[in-house]
Amino acid sequence: MQRYNLFSGGGVLPPYWGLGIKYRVKGDFDEAGVLRMANYFRNSHIPCDVLGLEPGWHSRSYSCSYVWSEKFPRPQEMIDSLWKMHLRLNLWEHAYVNPAAPFYKDLERMSGDFLVWRGLVPDFADPRAAAVFADYHRKNLVDKGIASFKLDECDNSNIVDGKATWGFPDMTRFPSGIDGEQMHQLFGSLYANTLADVYRRKNQRTYFDYRASNLFNSSLPAVLYSDIYGHDDYISMISTASFGGLLWSPELRDSKNETDFIRRLQTMLLAPQSVVDAWFLKNAPWFQLNRSLNNQDVKHERADELEKAGGVDVQGEDVADTLSIFGLCRLLQ
């Protein structure tokens, strides 16, 4: 594995903030909601290094416009405010380009002959298409202070219900000569490397998320993830992916009970990337473990204990010896 990693270009050297805590806010949050969560973390002295915005930051998201929506009327001011609070910003996107994207016309002749969600599928195997996509991101997002991206929907699979509800068919033809079947194997890697190269050219470290990989990507400053949520699956995937030369990331979302919450948090903290993905939660998961009650602002009876983790008794088990929830975060930092 050491030789494979070296042959692939060496291991990953993440930025310091990449080894901290990433918190993804609710998908429909506006600028005020994002800043509210940022202030909550800082005022509560809870470690957090990256805030992730979900599809709602786009003016069009399925497919993507890569343009700030009306929910964020002053994006640069928000980015600057978060930087002053030592919080980086991670933006969700996928690579299917909506007609509202400013670079849509530039990509029309350098994309596949099928649309996904009425959006172009860039032929990232063509350096010209990759350059158009990368240049827009550099000038309009990375140079403005965006620290990383979450690259979704590039795996042509919906593992949640077993039905492929997005993606392009195998018969798709791309200008580079690649067909859809070949592109399915390469799309995630080409996409991730296209954006990683933006930071590489700026001599700036990044650490982002992506949904599909291939060979020789162990030097990519990114962590593989999926939408599955089985805790047993998380444990096996972290170990097997590591032996395959890949970094794999579980997430903490809602939980069945306090024990489930603690165990998932332990796994998340010791993974290659620590992510709390609250894209469907109005409040932090420890405010209310139940998804429906969380969004109704109904506070869990032991929410303050879960937040402070000062030796909470979880169903008869003293977890003080096992994990101080955010104390471990502080220790690691």
| Residue range 88-126, pLDDT digits in tens | 999 999 999 999 999 999 999 999 999 999 999 999 999
Query: Which of 92, 80, 78 shows the shortest CA–CA distance to 36?
Result: 78
pLDDT interval class at 212 (50, 70, 90): very high
> Is residue 29 over pLDDT 60?
yes
Which residues touch 304 (CB under 8 Å, ≥6 apart)? none
Axis-axis angle for helices 31-43, 75-84 (nearest 10): 10
Which residues touch 14 (CB under 8 Å, ≥6 apart)? 205, 207, 221
The mean pLDDT value for 150-167 works out to: 73
Question: In this predicted structure, what is the pLDDT of residue 311?
Answer: 31
- Over residues 169-178, the pLDDT tens digits come to 889 999 999 9
Question: In this predicted structure, what is the pLDDT of residue 314?
Answer: 38
- Over residues 248-263, the pLDDT tens digits come to 999 999 889 988 998 9
Handedness of CA 59, 64, 65, 67 (dihedral sign): positive
Measured distance CA(49)–CA(46) in Å, rounded: 10
Spans of all domains in the chain: 2-227
- Over residues 36-88, the pLDDT tens digits come to 999 999 999 999 999 999 999 999 999 999 999 999 999 999 999 999 999 99
Given a contact cutoff of 8 angstroms between Cβ atoms, the answer to whether 246 and 218 are in contact is yes
Which residues touch 309 (CB under 8 Å, ≥6 apart)? 319, 323, 324, 325, 326, 327
Mean pLDDT over all residues of the chain? 89
Fold exhibited by the domain 2-227: TIM Barrel (3.20.20)
The mean pLDDT value for 312-329 works out to: 42
Measured distance CA(134)–CA(194) in Å, rounded: 6
Given a contact cutoff of 8 angstroms between Cβ atoms, the answer to whether 289 and 254 are in contact is yes
